Amino acid sequence: MIKLGKALLLTSLLATSTVVAADKEYTKVDRIKDMITMAGGMDEIQKGLLYRCEDGKCIKKGADSIKAVLVNLEKVDPNDFLDKDQQYAHKFSKKRQIMLWMYINEMLDELRDKNMDAVAQNYGLALRECTSCHMKLRPTKK
């Protein structure tokens, strides 16, 4: 699924590269790229939970890549990346971002305490934030 996302991203990058270069507006292409980064981060965290990466390395790596996207999104008005028919979800989107930030940080705190049960719980809560947004904003993609 991620491979497909990359292929789609590449096609759209090729199609819109001049537009993207001309202005620094946060586009749909940027959004997909950030989403794929976050999905990769969630994969890393899951890997850390299932295979127990050394010293929680995978979990930290995954959390870092998700946080980098969230920091980036902080500078973006959700109106810039929500489609016209999604603008009603402005507040909802901001809240999902804040909650994600909170769960990822809590997960890292628990990792420091080696409380793996709580790490897994926060991972699950973070995943729910992703899917909650997707269910609301991607109704056509079931």
36 binds ligand HEC (CB under 6 A): yes
Q: Does 66 bind ligand HEC (CB under 6 A)?
A: yes
Scanning 11-19, 52-60, 105-113, 130-138 for contacts with ligand HEC by CB under 6 A, the matching segment is 130-138
Using the minimum distance from each CB to ligand HEC, give the nearer residue, 49 or 66: 66
CB half-sphere exposure, 67, CA atoms < 13 A:
15
Please say whether the beta carbons of 39 and 2 come within 8 A: yes
Tokens of 22: 């001309």
Binding of ligand HEC by 133 (CB under 6 A): yes
Give backbone dihedrals phi and psi of 113, rounded to 5 degrees, phi first: -85, 5
Count of other CB atoms within 10 angstroms of residue 2: 10
Instruction: Please give the span between the terminal C-alpha atoms of the chain, in angstroms, as a whole number.
Output: 14
Q: How far is the CB of 7 from ligand HEC (least distance, A)?
A: 9
- Interface ranges with ligand HEC (CB under 6 A): 5, 8, 28, 31-32, 35-36, 38-39, 42, 66, 93, 96, 100, 126, 129-130, 133-134, 137-138
